[in-house]
């Protein structure tokens, strides 16, 4: 039986593995490699803190993922297919290493974020949109 996500090291393994796959992916890789030339040394610790705050209730992530992805969409259109691929990779990576309450939560929360991001992105296309 696999273990659940319980430590910061577990989050690092999950996020690092996911980003390796996402960057190499033919559907979404360009967002990380070309649209934004992501500095992973700076970016990944932010993502660890994001998941620590979601899964372990640590209030150590400061940021606005909605606005970041609206900006990203303005640089290069983000579609439901891109988000579906992101979710497929996230779920596959989670299942590769973990199972349990937190692992399930990681997958559920990502799907909720996906829906919210798609909704906000659509809203942002309205000329009256106010951030």
Task: State in angstroms the smallest separation of the CB of 24 from ligand HEM.
Answer: 13
Q: Which is nearer to ligand HEM, 1 or 73 (CB)?
A: 73
Q: Which is nearer to ligand HEM, 99 or 107 (CB)?
A: 107
**CA contacts within 13 A on the Cβ side of 126:** 9
Task: State in angstroms the smallest separation of the CB of 32 from ligand HEM.
Answer: 5
- Which phi and psi angles does 58 have, rounded to 5°? -85, 125
What are all long-range contacts of 74-78, with beta carbons under 8 Å and residues at least 24 apart?
Answer: 74/124, 75/35, 75/36, 76/30, 76/31, 76/35, 78/31, 78/117, 78/121
Q: Which is nearer to ligand HEM, 43 or 127 (CB)?
A: 43
Q: Which residues bind ligand HEM (CB under 6 A)?
A: 28, 31-32, 36, 38, 46-47, 50, 63, 65, 68-69, 72, 78, 82-83, 86, 110, 113-114, 117
């Amino acid at each position: 039986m696999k273990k659940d996500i319980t430590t910061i090291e577990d989050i690092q393994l999950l996020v690092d593995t996911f980003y390796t796959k996402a960057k190499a992916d033919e559907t979404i890789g360009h967002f990380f490699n070309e649209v934004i030339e992501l500095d992973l040394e700076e970016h990944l610790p932010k993502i660890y803190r994001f998941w620590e705050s979601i899964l372990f209730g640590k209030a150590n992530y400061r940021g606005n993922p909605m606005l970041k992805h609206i900006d990203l969409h303005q640089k290069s259109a983000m579609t439901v297919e891109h988000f579906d691929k992101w979710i497929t990779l996230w779920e596959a990576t989670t299942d590769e290493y973990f199972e349990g309450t937190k692992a399930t939560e990681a997958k559920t929360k990502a799907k909720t974020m996906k829906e919210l991001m798609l909704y906000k992105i659509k809203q942002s296309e309205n000329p009256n949109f106010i951030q």
